Each structure stands twice: as structure tokens, then as C-alpha cells.
Amino acid sequence: MDLSNDDIFKIVKIIEASGYDEVRLEVGDFKIHVRKHADGDAAVMPSGIAERRPLPSAPPPSPPPQEPPARSAAEEAPPDGAVVVRSPMLGTFYRAPSPGEKPFVEVGAKVVSDDTLCLVEVMKLFNSIKAGVSGTVVKILAENAAMVEHGQPLMYIRPD
């Protein structure tokens, strides 16, 4: 199995969004070692370099706190107390179980908390995103087959 540069960048993005500080991945002859710096950015190293480099005795000082990123207008004001369904991970958003099939939900659909709303695919692993609340889908924010970020709003549901 060959990995493209795009695959490697996706792996690094997933690791950056994860709670892990260090990850080693081996796929056939390909080996990658990713370690987060104290500032949370990930650094990619060929296998074996980390063992030869001495570790600092104290972590570097953390950067000053920054303002949270600005939220979109749609996220700032969900309609009429609607619940925001967010992506739990970085990946590709899909509205239907497979191409050409009917979407899981449409605007106006009634859902219960265990209903699947969509899929988020990460490295060929499809993750079902559940409603988490009973209500009516009032808005679908993500485009089908678009890349979504961890925490990005996907849909609004007005609770019953």
C-alpha cells in the first residue's frame, strides 16, 4: 500500500487534533513518527531520529493565550434554540451511506437520539454521527463529500 503526500498530511492533521503527544505508524516499508511540540504543532520525523536527539530538560515556555477563532455567523446564532451537532473528528463528511443512495436525513426530518445523521470518513474508516437528541433537523451546514474539521458544526436540530 502506497501513501501519497496528501495521505501523510491527513494523518498529521488527525494526530494534531487528537489527544496523543506522539504516534508511530508503519504501513509496509513506510514508517512515520509524529511528535507534538509543546505548542501543540506536530513535527514529522523519519523513524529513528527521535531516539538520537536528546530531549530538553524543561519544556519551552508556552505561548501567551490567544483569542479563540471567530465563529461563523451561522454558528453564533443557531435557529430558535437548536442543538448544534458537531464533527467529532477531522475527516470527510458524507450525507448518505454510499454514493447514489438516499441521504440519512433531510431538513425537516424527525430524528431520535440514536439516529445516524451522517458519516465522517477518516482514512477509509467510516464513523456514524448520531443525533444525540430527539427533534427536527432544521439546517444542514456541511456539504456532501467536503472536508470537515474537529468541532465544526454539521447540522442544527430543534429538540422536541
Q: How confident is the model at residue 8 (pLDDT cuts 50, 70, 90)?
A: confident
91-94/110-111 β-pairing:
unpaired
Exposure letters 96-135 (e unless 16+ CB within 10 A, then b):
eeeeeeeebbeeebebeeebebbbbebeeeeeebebbbeb
Give the dihedral sign, CA 32/147/127/131: positive
Q: How confident is the model at residue 46 (pLDDT cuts 50, 70, 90)?
A: very low
pLDDT tens for 52-97 read: 344 444 455 555 555 444 455 444 578 888 999 999 999 999 999 9
Q: C-alpha cell of 21? A: 503527544
Residues counted in the chain: 160
- Going from N- to C-terminal start, the domains of the chain cover 5-52, 80-159
d(CA 41, CA 30): 22
**If phi over 0 gives left and psi between -120 and 50 gives alpha, with beta otherwise, what is residue 117?**
alpha
Give the dihedral sign, CA 71/75/81/85: negative
Could you give the strand order of the β-sheet that contains 147-148, starting from the edge strand earlier in sequence?
A: 125-130, 116-122, 91-94, 147-148
Coil/strand/helix, residue 16: helix
Would you state the pLDDT for residue 146?
95
Half-sphere exposure of 34 (CA within 13 A, CB side): 20
Amino acid identity of residue 124, one-letter, is K
Of 103 and 6, the one with more pLDDT: 103
Q: What is the mean pLDDT of residues 17-39?
A: 70
pLDDT tens for 97-140 read: 999 999 999 999 999 999 999 999 998 899 999 999 999 999 99
Would you state the pLDDT for residue 50?
37
**Among 39-53, 55-69, 141-155, which is the least confidently predicted range?**
39-53
Query: Tell me: domain 80-159, CATH 3.40.50.720, correct?
Result: no
